[in-house]
Amino acid sequence: MKRTTLAYIALLGTMLLWSSAFPGIKFVLRRLQDPYAIAMLRLGFASAGLLVAAAIMRLPLPHREDLGMIALTGVLGFSLYHCLLNLGMSYEMVSAGQGSFIISTVPIWTTLLARPYLGEEITPYAWGGMALGLSGVGLMSLDPSSLSFSEGSLIVLSGAVSSASCFVLQKRLLDRYRPLHVSIYVTIAGSLPILAYLPWAWEPVAAMDTAGWAAVAYLGLFPIGLGYFLNAFALSRLPANRSTQFLLMVPLFATVLAWLILGDWPRPIIAVGGPMILGGILLGQRGTSSEDEDSPEA
């Protein structure tokens, strides 16, 4: 099987897992109203699961000269991203749809960062695909009657840039380590700072019911633990600007999953926005080199 075929399968799995996090977080928020505590628990479960995997496979320690990049990548993609997202979404003027639309700009920031830092070429197809896909996300996510650009919006936007920076830095690490190794190193490094919030979250966390704990465990082990490994696997085989375009699928998948799991009926505009998102992703994958497409499986 071609390297790119496996990468695309991994990306689809990643987007499904990440999409499931949105209705999952909404479910947990009904039991635990502290978004920072939820982020802390998710990262705690993810790190615990990855530590077990590291022990079983006797994961070697990273090289000393890479510790700084691993720590920076982890903080940008985990602690900082989750804190900025939760803080921005706590503002009343930032709706859920507006927040998801802002986060969907991650492929744009990744593309802009990947060109100078990784030397990746940006084709007209890539720009056209992002424009079409982001327009579809906007149709599905935004309510024109309640649009505003507030301080909360800027905070969420900062989270999107932080996440894009993580993807670009991670690409460099994948040149030296296996995808599973990178996902373990980066996730654990990024989880450590937010665990300092435990003293403030202890009381509400201790009062959470069994269903809440089960949901948080899923959100940590699968969307974060497994999801970031699959994403790292895809990043090791595709340019960063191409792989992150699949993030445009998250609002579409999340809308469908929220309907199936929570009974949140999607707006009819999904019939227009959904095909635009898929068409944008397909357009963005055109114009790639034959070397990428025909490389044998590693």
Report the residue count for the chain: 298
Percent of residues, the chain, with pLDDT higher than 70? 89
Higher pLDDT, 184 or 258: 184
User: How many domains does the chain divide into?
Assistant: 1
pLDDT of residue 90: 73
Nearest to 69 by CA among 165, 157, 160: 165
pLDDT of residue 119: 86
> Of the ranges 66-70, 84-88, 203-207, which is most confident?
66-70
Q: Would the pTM count as exceeding 0.95? A: no
Q: Residues 79-100: what's their mean pLDDT?
A: 76
Dihedral (CA of 189, 190, 195, 197) sign: positive
Q: Find out whether 84 and 158 touch, Cβ atoms under 8 Å.
A: yes
Q: Residues 27-46: what's their mean pLDDT?
A: 89
Question: What is the C-alpha to C-alpha distance for residues 236 and 232, in angstroms, rounded to an integer?
Answer: 6
Q: Residues 232-258: what's their mean pLDDT?
A: 86
Question: What is the C-alpha to C-alpha distance for residues 103 and 41, in angstroms, rounded to an integer?
Answer: 22
Q: What residues contact residue 202 under an 8 Å CB cut-off, 6+ apart? A: none
- Amino acid code (one letter) for 146: S
Question: What is the C-alpha to C-alpha distance for residues 43 and 85, in angstroms, rounded to an integer?
Answer: 15
pLDDT confidence band for 76 (50 / 70 / 90): very high
pLDDT confidence band for 163 (50 / 70 / 90): very high
Q: What are phi and psi of 150, to 5 degrees?
A: -110, -175
| Owning domain of residue 222 | 3-294
* Residue 297 pLDDT exceeds 50: no
Encoded tokens for 116: 């100078």
Q: Residues 5-30: what's their mean pLDDT?
A: 88
What are 17-26's pLDDT values in tens digits? Answer: 988 887 888 7
What are 251-291's pLDDT values in tens digits? Answer: 788 778 878 877 777 777 777 877 887 888 888 877 544 34
Give the dihedral of Cα atoms 139, 162, 4, 61; nearest 10 deg: -150
